[in-house]
Homo-oligomer: A and B are copies of this chain.
């Protein structure tokens, strides 16, 4: 089982003010690491909403849950409270995270980005974690990422600022996630058919998917108008590259022999 879910926290996405690109970036990486993203949820900056999605993802037996957003020092940053609530854990000051936050404010004050390195209560808030959670250093900003095991599920909480999220993910998580998903191999291949009619191709794909059941097929038009052509993207996961490639090749042959000459 390599099920993964992504929870995006932020009202600015629900009003349409901000286009969420974090979940797309994460989905690509998690898929490439062998995970199977089955669900993305975007919710408001409210403890109950975030906690509800976390509970759903835990109930779904996800191996990995990644949250983005809601880790900063302001009143509407509530993700960690929701993680603690969903996991049934108290919140407590994480000394390592407090050192990290202090270090970041000292550095940013020294560089002249901000006025004072005093650790106010709202800055300290970024170091208050669900009990037992680990800190993931943020190479770019002030809010550390948070890593918590709940049974067999790994919950990662990352900031919503894309460059901070990406930096934490790539600095701390690649090896761990590869191991989590048993380093399964993911392959994707796209072919272009000589068909322009989705309903006709659909019948072919339907047959092929029954025959090669462990390759996922998806069709889409490449462009509209007189010269519309349908592409098919084949995706498969497995334990070794050769076997996954072979399966995809088999599905391609099965499609090609059914296409008109």
Residue ranges of A at the interface with B (Cβ–Cβ < 8 Å): 11-17, 19-21, 23-31, 37-45, 49, 56, 72-76, 112-115, 120, 122-123, 125, 161, 188, 196-203, 205-206, 209, 216-221, 224-226, 228, 233, 235
Contact = CB atoms under 8 A, between A and B. Distances in A.
| Number of this chain's copies in the complex | 2
B41 A14 contact: no
A218 to B, nearest CB: 6
Given A115-B197, A122-B199, A16 B25 contact: yes
30 contacts: A11-B216, A12-B220, A12-B233, A13-B24, A13-B40, A14-B31, A15-B28, A15-B188, A16-B24, A16-B26, A16-B37, A17-B28, A20-B24, A39-B42, A39-B44, A40-B42, A72-B198, A72-B199, A73-B198, A74-B201, A74-B205, A74-B206, A75-B209, A76-B217, A113-B228, A114-B197, A120-B203, A122-B202, A122-B203, A123-B199
A123 B226 CA distance: 20
A225 B13 contact: no
Determine the main DSSP class of A at the interface with B.
Answer: mixed
A33 to B, nearest CB: 11
A218 B197 CA distance: 47
Given A38-B49, A74-B198, A112-B226, 4 more contacts: A12-B220, A13-B27, A113-B225, A120-B203
